[in-house]
Amino acid sequence: VQADGTDGNCVTFVLHDEDHTLGNSLRYMVMKNPDVEFCGYCITHPSESKINFRIQTRGTLPAVEPFRKGLNDLMGVCQHVLDTFEVRVFLKSS
């Protein structure tokens, strides 16, 4: 991970070894955050697996915050999906 930006509000993170799989889902979670003014990601070149993930926040919130919150929210979603799915499989098999 590398960060680059003029001030704390607009930061471009470079995530190595990632592609649309994490990029799109993380973008969706960060966009759901009302403090975020702009969020987007792009793949710099299809031969290299790294993505530029940019977050711009409204106000003076440091951009790392929505990034961290987005990751935590995505973890929460996955955990809930996993629990629900496993309960269903268990119910179906018994």
Partner 1 sequence: DEMRDRVVLGEFGVRNVHTTDFPGNYPGYEDAWDQRRFEEAFRVDIIREEEGALEFDMVGIDAAIANAFRRILLAEVPTMAVEKVFVYNNTSIVQDEILAHRLGLIPIRADPRLFEYRNQGDEEGTEIDTLQFQLKIKCSRNPQAAKESSDPNELYFNHKVYSKHMTWVPLGNQTDLFPDADFRPVHDDILIALLRPGQEIDVLMHCVKGIGKDHAKFSPVATASYRLLPDITLLQPIEDEAAEMLQKCFSPGVIEIQNIKGKKVARVANARLDTFSREVFRHEGLKNLVRLARVRNHYIFSVESTGILPPDVLVSEAIKILMGKCQRFLNELDSVPME
Query: What SS3 state is found at 39?
Result: strand
> What is the number of other CB atoms lying within 10 angstroms of the CB of residue 30?
26
Min dist CB 9 to partner 1, Å, is: 13
Min dist CB 71 to partner 1, Å, is: 5
Provide φ and ψ at 23, rounded to 5°.
-60, -50
Comparison of 42 and 89: residue with beta carbon closer to partner 1:
89
Q: Would you tell me which residues interact with partner 1 (CB under 8 A)?
A: 1, 3, 15, 18, 20-22, 24-29, 31-34, 64, 67-68, 71-82, 84-86, 88-89, 92-93
Comparison of 61 and 64: residue with beta carbon closer to partner 1:
64
Min dist CB 25 to partner 1, Å, is: 4
H-helix or E-strand containing 30?
helix 20-31
Contact 15, 53 (CB under 8 A): yes
DSSP state of 19: -
